[in-house]
């Protein structure tokens, strides 16, 4: 993978260390890939003058016909996104627990009402 910023490739791509973090593939009813999400991590490095080049993340989404879009996130953008997703996920868990408690309560009330 050659990291890039917009249409410009980073000057020394061989010095950039990247790693695929995740591949998420969704399939259609015919069991063919319908969409793919890839996340790549680019580790911080130093340039030729010894200055630190910050790390980043590349998120790529590809559709069933192969059209792909890639966005580069800074470390701060990535952590902000992760924290927002985590907060929403925690809200999902809480809501599911409330729904389950309500469902269990409703079932108990129906069961005790039909017993008497």
> pLDDT, tens digit, for every residue of 41-52?
999 998 889 999
Question: What are the pLDDT digits (tens) for 50-85?
Answer: 999 899 999 999 999 999 999 999 999 999 999 999
pLDDT of residue 116: 54
Structural domain boundaries, residue 96: 4-115
Higher pLDDT, 13 or 28: 28
Parallel, antiparallel or unpaired: strands 45-46 and 52-53: antiparallel
How many domains are there within the chain?
A: 1
pTM of this prediction? 0.68
Question: Residue 61 to residues 5, 70, 92, 98, 113: CA-CA distances in angstroms?
Answer: 17, 7, 24, 34, 52
- 10's enclosing H/E stretch is none
pLDDT exceeds cutoff 50 at 4: no
Contact 41, 19 (CB under 8 A): yes
Secondary structure (3-state) at 17: coil
């Amino acid at each position: 993978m050659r990291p890039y910023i917009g249409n410009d490739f980073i000057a020394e791509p061989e010095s950039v260390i990247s790693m695929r973090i995740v591949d998420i593939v969704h399939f259609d009813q015919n069991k063919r890939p319908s969409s793919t999400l890839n996340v790549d991590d680019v580790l911080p490095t130093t340039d030729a003058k010894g200055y630190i080049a910050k790390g980043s993340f590349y998120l790529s989404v590809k559709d069933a016909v192969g059209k792909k879009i890639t966005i580069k996130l800074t470390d701060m953008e990535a952590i902000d996104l992760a924290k927002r997703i985590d907060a929403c996920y925690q809200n999902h868990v809480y809501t599911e627990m409330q729904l389950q408690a309500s469902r269990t309560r409703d079932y108990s009330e129906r069961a005790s009402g039909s017993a008497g």
